[in-house]
Amino acid sequence: MLAIIGGTGMTQLANLEITHRQVIRTPYGEPSGALTFGHIKKHNVVFLARHGYGHTIPPHEINYRANIWALASQKVKRIVAIASVGGIREDLVPGALVVPDQIIDYTYSRKFTYFEGGEKPVTHIDFTEPYSDKLRRRLLKAAKVAGSPAIDGGVYAATQGPRLETAAEINRLQRDGADMVGMTGMPEAALARELGLEYAALGVVANFAAGRDPGGRGIDWNAIDGVVTQALVNVRNVLEYVVDHDAD
Ligand code: HPA
């Protein structure tokens, strides 16, 4: 089954015919909310709002381990993660969709692995390619068919938040090779890999990263909501295609 994790602005999936919700208890505590099960185009899908259904959980307080564990416990094999990002690279302008292919992790103080506590042998997952290529291709194709092509590739910088970055920090991220910046991509992607799930992200560019607005403006988070809400119409179409071409 395919899972969709919704990010900022996406606390529900408008095209999901909901069948039931289920609260999952995990050894890692509470997920962001109950899992929402349903169908899109007759395919089983499960949805989880990363920030909670009332959008109350900030990026650094999300229980990523519980979220991914809960999905895996329901026989989820693939996860499509929707995430809003700030655009650093010039072509990543507000409203654009992007399917990143690499990650740099700047987060700290988050519970970021299942391999702790000394019960299991030490495991080092291969994370050379952090996203599933197959799922990335499917997202890119879906976006093309849906008429809202997504930009193929880019380095996602995961920052700690919840504050936005300084202009100098964005310059540094760019020197490091980052193309976009968000607060939730890690440890989510690594945890999915640890549990053997295919994982890919669809980035929605919500704003120019700090210091990159051509008009010299700062970042107005309220304006972001409008951009994301509009882009989510496209995201919905993309997801419909992805689900329709996914083996259950
Ligand atoms: N920085 C970090 N995270 C974000 C941004 C940003 O500019 N926009 C959306 N998520």
pLDDT score at 69 = 98
* DSSP E strand boundaries for the chain: 2-6, 17-22, 35-40, 43-49, 78-87, 97-99, 102-105, 151-152, 155-158, 180-182, 198-208
Domain 2-244 has CATH 3.40.50.2300: no
For the cut 70, the answer to whether the pLDDT of residue 247 exceeds it is no
Alpha-carbon distance of 65 to 188, in angstroms, equals: 8
Q: How wide is the angle at C-alpha 197 spanned by C-alphas 73 and 64, nearest 5°?
A: 65
pLDDT in tens, 187-221: 999 999 999 999 999 999 999 999 999 998 999 88
| CB neighbour list of residue 230: distance below 8 Å, 6 or more residues apart | 95
Q: Which phi and psi (to 5°) does residue 143 adopt?
A: -65, -40
pLDDT in tens, 15-59: 889 999 999 999 999 999 999 999 998 899 999 999 998 889 999
Entry pTM: 0.95
Dihedral over alpha carbons 90, 223, 59, 49 (to 10 degrees): -110
Ligand 1 pocket mutation, candidates 8, 10, 82, 84, criterion most atoms within 8 A of CB: 84
In the reported structure, the alpha carbon of residue 84 is separated from the centroid of ligand 1 by a whole-number distance in angstroms of 7
Q: Say whether the peptide bond before residue 162 is cis (omega within 30 degrees of 0).
A: yes
pLDDT score at 225 = 85
Q: What is the largest CA-CA distance in the chain?
A: 54
Q: What is the mean pLDDT of the chain?
A: 94
Q: Tokens for 155?
A: 């380095």
Q: Whose alpha carbon is nearest atom 6 of ligand 1?
A: 86
Q: Whose alpha carbon is nearest atom 9 of ligand 1?
A: 85
Domain layout of the chain by residue ranges = 2-244
In the reported structure, the alpha carbon of residue 157 is separated from the centroid of ligand 1 by a whole-number distance in angstroms of 10
